[in-house]
Amino acid sequence: MVTNVQNIQPRCNLEDVAPGTYALAVVHDDNMNGRLDTTWVGIPTEGYGLSNGAKALVGAPSFSSVSFPFDGRILDLTISLQY
């Protein structure tokens, strides 16, 4: 999903998502090129955030560290971006 930020705390509403186990990643695509830009060694140069507040220290974190159960009802998640 792509959304334009119009305030400090943007919201994304996902509809018709089946119950299950999910993980979310959010990218601040500052230059709007459709990807997370990184340095030549893979360090992000744009903001990103992962569900559960997980950190990507050396490579991507495990699915178990970022995943959460979704039972099909309303669920509010907050994801903070790291720069």
Q: Examine residue 7 and state whether it is found in any structural domain, yes or no.
A: no
Q: What percent of the chain has pLDDT over 70?
A: 95
Q: Is residue 31 part of a domain?
A: yes
Residue 1 lies in a domain: no
In a domain, 79, yes or no: no
Classify residue 27: in a domain, yes or no: yes
Closest CA to 60 of 43, 47, 77, 72: 43
The boundaries of the domain holding residue 48 are: 20-70
pLDDT tens-digit readout, 3-36: 777 666 777 788 899 999 999 999 999 999 999 9
Residue 55 lies in a domain: yes
Q: How far apart are CA 45 and CA 37, in angstroms?
A: 6
**pTM value > 0.85:** no
What's the mean pLDDT when you consider all of the chain? 88
- Asked whether residue 82 is domain-assigned, the answer is no
Query: Quick check: is 76 in a domain?
Result: no
Give me the number of domains the chain comprises.
1
